[in-house]
Amino acid sequence: VSWARRCVQETGAGAGGPGSSVTGKVASVGENVKGIKKGDAVLINGFSGTEVEFEDGEKGKFINAVDVLAVLG
C-alpha cells in the first residue's frame, strides 16, 4: 500500500458539506508513491485517513494515496 504519510489540513468543508472534501499540503510521502510529492497541495476525501496530532502540535491526517482526489499544485 502506498501512503501519503502526513497531510496537513488547511481548509474546511467542500461544496458537499462538512467533511466531504478538504484541501491540505503533503508533508511527507512513502517511497513507492507516484504522482504525489512533498509540498503538493491536494484535495482529499474529508472522511478518509486517520486524524492525528504531531509532536509539534500540528494536526493533520495519515492518508492513503488513493484518498487523494486531485493534486492542486
- CA 40 to CA 25: how far, in whole Å? 6
Predicted local confidence at residue 19, as pLDDT:
57
Look up the pTM and report it.
Answer: 0.68
Predicted local confidence at residue 1, as pLDDT:
35
What are the start-end ranges of the H helices in the chain? none
Q: List the pLDDT tens digit at each of the 73 positions of the chain.
A: 344 445 555 544 455 555 577 888 888 888 888 888 888 988 888 888 888 887 888 778 888 888 888 998 7
Predicted local confidence at residue 4, as pLDDT:
47
- CA 15 to CA 7: how far, in whole Å? 20
Residue 39's contacts (CB-CB under 8 Å, 6 or more residues apart) are 25, 26
